[in-house]
Chains A and B, each alone.
Chain A
Amino acid sequence: MGQFLQQLINGIQLGSIYALIALGYTMVYGIVRLINFAHADIFMVGAYMGYFLAPVMAKVFGGAFIPTIIAAMLITGLLGFIMEKLAYRPLRYKSRLSALITALGVSLFLENFCALPFVFGPTFRKFPDLIVAKNIPLPGSLGLIIDNVLLLDVGVSVVLMVLLFWFVNKTLIGKQMRAVSFDKPTASLMGINIDVVISTAFIVGPALAGAGGILFGVTYGSLNSPSLGIWWGLKAFIAAVLGGIGNIPGAVLGAYIMGISEAFATSVNSNLGYGIAFAILIGILLVRPSGLLGKFMPEKV
């Protein structure tokens, strides 16, 4: 029982980080129908920003965590904006395939550019101790281990998700985003500036991934190389598809399913933990081809 609950808690922690990345995939997909492979590398940039900014922020503000996460979100948001402007906007009315391949190209570019010695460098780096992990003593005899980093991960991602839901559902630009994702040509006829909406999606999504990068750094403490983003991004992307890509609650649901199942599978065999996500995904897509919460879109002739 204790073991079961412990894995469940670990899974929720993992799922929270996945959720922050998955939201970016799903927002961009919902609006421009593009699988933004470079999102994984934005997550990586976020994590490295934590490494470089934390000492500066500690000096300037005293406390480091909150200023660092905000600065990292701003920088990754800006990066997302530039990326859309330079790489995806010229291809917006070309075939979707060329945008997809460009996304692959941007991803490879970011990964290898950041590995240059004068950018981030290819070497291992230790993430600064923004938060020192401390076990929280729990009453009861189950032997659960909960530390403050876990609470922080879950807390930060829940706060950001609530903010995002508020943003998408209550603000004007959020309403415009939903309209564009529903029907782009009609939305533009209703006087919605599509460019602004797309740019917003490319700022908000990467900003969330940047926050995810900081949480990743705080939780795992090591930045192996600038290619660390690719597997996290891949799994978060799978989570977004699992929940129904383009659907925001779906991405969160998918991310938690993914995190929890991965935690359980890893407790059986560490190699299995990696593959379980893909097995679940194939299983679900065969039963519900548009994901758990996704809407089925019939093809029009």
Chain B
Amino acid sequence: MTFLRTHRTLATVIAFVLAYVVIKLLSVLPLVDGGPLLNGYYIQLIALVGINIVMTVSLGMVNGFTGQFSIGHAGFMAVGAYTSAMITTVWLHTSTANPWTAYPVFIAAILTGGLLAAAAGYLVGAPSLRLKGDYLAIVTLSANELIRTVIRVTEVLGGPRGLGGIPKLTTLEVVFVFAIVSVVLMRNYLFSSYGRSMKAVRDSEIAAESMAINTTRQKVFVFVFSAFFAGVSGGVFAHLLQFIHPDNFSFVKSLEYLIYLYVGGSTSISGAMVGPAIFTFLPELMRGLQKWRLVPQRHRKEVSA
């Protein structure tokens, strides 16, 4: 145990691998009548949880650890989703038939999506992170809706019809590898000297500045870093659902991530992983109670606040 405590990266990887093994076993072993406990529906949900975890942890880097208030995270997800879907579907017509060519293209596509999202993050962050408090929230929200509008008027991206026919390249394994790599990278960033500067900026911007931390630069850095991961998750998301629509990435989606983050606790990585796990499942389990779907979110949030 002491060894795992001092080697947190390894511990994270082991936890993820254990979770994968358990889920895989549950989806293969015939535990209940007529088949395994976890059918395709649950596997899809678990994959969504993985994507939401990466989104939430990356949002937590900005909102929790740097103390800024970004409420437009879904916009960067949209940039990544549309870029990667554009590359695999519209330009290269990748299909799942030949995994040896499909996966290199897929990986290149989601990384390109991440890079473009990071570039968008820089464009939004560089001017607006100089603003204080609420204004950052407003600019990120506007950027989210602006990105969505641009997608809506761009005919080649499907415009308001959405973009379909994306090959299903995201499997449970892909999501797990993606989540492990992203969470470990973000964790290591937080525990580096950059991460310490971020926390200093959060606790007192003026004190941090007088300690020779370039606060604007730190904020822009973490914002771009977080937008990169949002973009990559967008790519993975697009290849999981196989259809993306601009309305998938609206302000409402960004609010969902905020709820995931604050339910789990914004200044904890494990919290940012528990939140999405609960709240991706709970609304689905209560689908039978369709219209009550979002009511408990309010309740849970009250408890944590």
Contacts and interface: CB of A to CB of B under 8 A. Distances in A.
Interface of A: 33, 35, 91, 96-98, 100-102, 104-106, 108-109, 111-113, 115-117, 122, 230, 234, 237-238, 241, 245, 269, 271-272, 274-275, 277-279, 281-282, 285-286, 289-290, 299, 301
A285 B128 contact: yes
Interface in B116-146: 127-128, 130-135, 137-139, 141-143, 145-146
Contacts of B258: 101, 104
A94 to B, nearest CB: 8
Contacts of A112: 291-295
Interface string B255-288: 1001100100000000000000000000000000
Interface residues of B, number: 41
A238 B140 CA distance: 12
A10 B35 CA distance: 61
A274 B252 contact: no
A33 B133 CA distance: 11
Contacts of A245: 134
Given A102-B305, A274-B145, A282-B139, A116 B298 contact: no
Contacts of A238: 138, 142
Interface stretch (B76-84, B149-157, B178-186, B217-225): B149-157
Contacts of A278: 142-143, 145-146, 149
A279 B144 CA distance: 11
Contact of B149 (A97, A102, A274): A274
Which 3 residue pairs spanning A and B have beta carbons closest together? A275-B149, A278-B142, A109-B298
A279 B305 contact: no
A101 B305 contact: yes
Given A238-B138, A238-B142, A278-B149, A230 B291 contact: no
Given A100-B69, A275-B145, 4 more contacts: A105-B297, A112-B291, A272-B153, A278-B145
Contacts of B138: 237-238, 241, 281, 285
Contact of B131 (A117, A274, A285): A285
Given A116-B291, A271-B152, A230 B252 contact: yes
A116 B292 contact: yes
B139 A285 contact: yes
B160 interface: yes
A35 B137 contact: yes
A282 B143 contact: yes
Contact of B134 (A35, A111, A113, A115): A35
A138 B252 CA distance: 43
Given A275-B146, A279-B146, A105 B301 contact: yes
27 contacts: A91-B305, A100-B69, A100-B137, A104-B258, A105-B259, A105-B298, A105-B301, A106-B298, A108-B297, A109-B294, A109-B295, A115-B291, A116-B291, A117-B291, A122-B291, A230-B251, A271-B149, A274-B145, A278-B146, A278-B149, A285-B128, A285-B135, A286-B127, A286-B128, A289-B131, A299-B132, A299-B206
Nearest to A34: B134
B33 interface: no
Given A117-B291, A269-B153, A301 B142 contact: no
B164 interface: no
Contacts of A230: 251-252
A79 to B, nearest CB: 16
Contacts of B139: 281-282, 285
Contacts of A108: 255, 259, 294, 297-298
B36 interface: no
B153 A271 contact: yes
A115 to B, nearest CB: 5
A139 B197 CA distance: 68
B101 to A, nearest CB: 36
A290 B143 CA distance: 18
Contacts of A234: 141, 145, 251
Nearest to B150: A275
A290 B138 CA distance: 12
Nearest to B302: A105
